[in-house]
Amino acid sequence: MILCFDIGGTAIKMAEASSADQVTPKGRINTPTDDFDAFVGVMRDQITAASTPPAAIAVSLAGVLDPDTGVGTMANIPCLTGRKLQSELAARLGLPVVLGNDADCFALAEATVGVGRGHDVVFGLILGTGVGGGVVVRGELINRDGGFAGEIGHGPIAQRILTEPSISLPAFPCGCGLSGCLDAVCSARGMERLHTHLHGVPRDSRGIVADWMAGDKNATRTIDIWIGLLAGPLAVMENMLGAGIIAVGGGLSNAPGLITALDRAVRAQCLRRFDRPLIVQAGCPVEPGLVGAAILGLQYVNSINAE
C-alpha cells in the first residue's frame, strides 16, 4: 500500500492506494505552513493510522523541486522552502518518500486513468488560481527528478499587441517576479485583472464567464482577448510536444463552453490538423493530485521490486 498526500497551501489531503484505480481518500487537514515539525507530525500521524503499514510515502506538492539540488520552493508553505525535502522527510518518517509537483501529478493521473489514456504524450494544463502544466511521455513524467518542464504559465511570452481582437496591453506583473507571463493574465485572477483593465469594473472570473455565456458585450471582449492571449502559446507548446491530448484542470476548466472555444482557437494555429478536440476537460474520477502521487509511489515500489 502507498500512503499518498496532496499538499497545498490551505489543506493536506490524504489517501491510501494499492493501484492507480484504487485510491481511497482518507480525509484532509489544515496545512501547517510555518512549522516543519508540525508538518512532519501530520504525516507521521497518518502513517500510524494507516490500515496497513505503507511501503512508501508519495506526495504531490504545490511547488517545485530543483532537479540539481533537490531543494524545494513552496511559495505558500514557507516551512518547506529551502529544504531537501525527499531526504529530510524520508529520514524523519523512516520510509521511502517520492515527491512530485502538483501539476505533474495532475498530468500523470490524466495520462493513466483520465482522458489521456491511450496517448503517448499528454500535456496536463492547469487553468485556475495560476496557469501551470505537466508533461507525461509514455507513462513517465519528464520531471521525474523535479524541474520546470511544462510550466507554460511563467516567462514573458504573453502578447501585448493583438490584431484580432485589436488591442494593446501592458506587460502585467507576475508573482514570479517577471512581467508578461500567461499566469498574470490568463489565470482566473489574470482574467479578472484583464477585465478590470478593459472595462474599469471589477468582476470575478465565474461572473465573467457567466456573463460571456449570456452574451454580455464586455465579457465577450474580455474572453475573446483571453483566448487570443492563451491560444498562441498553447499551439506552440503543442507543436513542441506533439501531445495527443491536452487535459485541462483548475477552476476555469469547469466552464465547458470556455474550454471548447479555447480548443477551437488552439487547433486553428497548430501545425497538426486535428479533426477532434485536442483540449478537453480532465476526467480523473478521484482527486488527481492523490492519484498522481499514488502512481509515482507505485512506480517507485515496482522499480525497487524489479531490481
CATH number for position 55: 3.30.420.40
Task: Using the Cα atoms of residue 77, residue 78, residue 79 and residue 84 in order, give the sign of their dihedral.
Answer: positive
Burial class (CB in 10 A: 0-12, 13-18, 19+), 53: exposed
Residues 198 and 271 in one domain: yes
Judge whether 110 lies within some domain: no
Q: 128 and 22 in one domain?
A: no
The number of domains in the chain is 2
How many whole angstroms separate alpha carbon 19 and alpha carbon 174? 38
Quote the pTM value.
Answer: 0.91
Residues 297 and 268 in one domain: no
> Which three three-digit cell numbers place residue 251?
477552476
Say if 140 falls within a structural domain. Answer: yes
Query: Is 274 found in the same domain as 126?
Result: yes
Burial class of residue 274, CB neighbours in 10 A (0-12, 13-18, 19+): middle
Residue 97 within a domain: yes
Question: Same structural domain for residues 210 and 263?
Answer: yes
Host H or E run for residue 72? strand 72-73
CA gap 91, 74 in Å, rounded = 20
Sequential pLDDT tens for the chain (307 residues):
999 999 988 899 999 999 888 999 999 999 999 999 999 999 999 999 999 999 999 999 988 888 888 898 887 789 999 999 999 999 999 999 999 988 999 999 999 999 999 999 999 999 998 899 999 999 999 887 777 888 899 889 888 988 878 888 999 998 888 899 999 999 999 999 999 999 999 999 999 999 999 999 999 999 999 999 999 999 999 999 999 999 999 999 999 999 999 999 999 999 999 999 999 999 987 789 999 999 999 998 888 877 6
**Sequence-distant (≥ 6) Cβ neighbours of residue 144 within 8 angstroms:** none
Whether residue 60 is contained in a domain is answered as yes
The reply to whether 109 falls in a domain is no
- Please indicate, yes or no, if residue 211 is contained in any of the structural domains: yes
Same domain, 49 and 122: no
Q: Which domain holds residue 143?
A: 115-281
271 shares its domain with 136: yes
Sign of CA dihedral 268, 187, 73, 26: negative
Specify if 106 maps to a domain: no
Statement to judge: residues 32 and 65 lie in one domain: yes
End-to-end CA distance of the chain: 19
Pairing label, strands 72-73, 131-137: unpaired
Q: Which DSSP string corresponds to 107-170?
A: HHHHHHHSTTTT-SEEEEEEESSSEEEEEEETTEETTBTB--TT-TTSSS-S-SEEETTEEE--
Do 88 and 121 lie in a common domain? no
Same domain, 221 and 124: yes
| Integer Cα distance of 174 and 155 in angstroms | 9
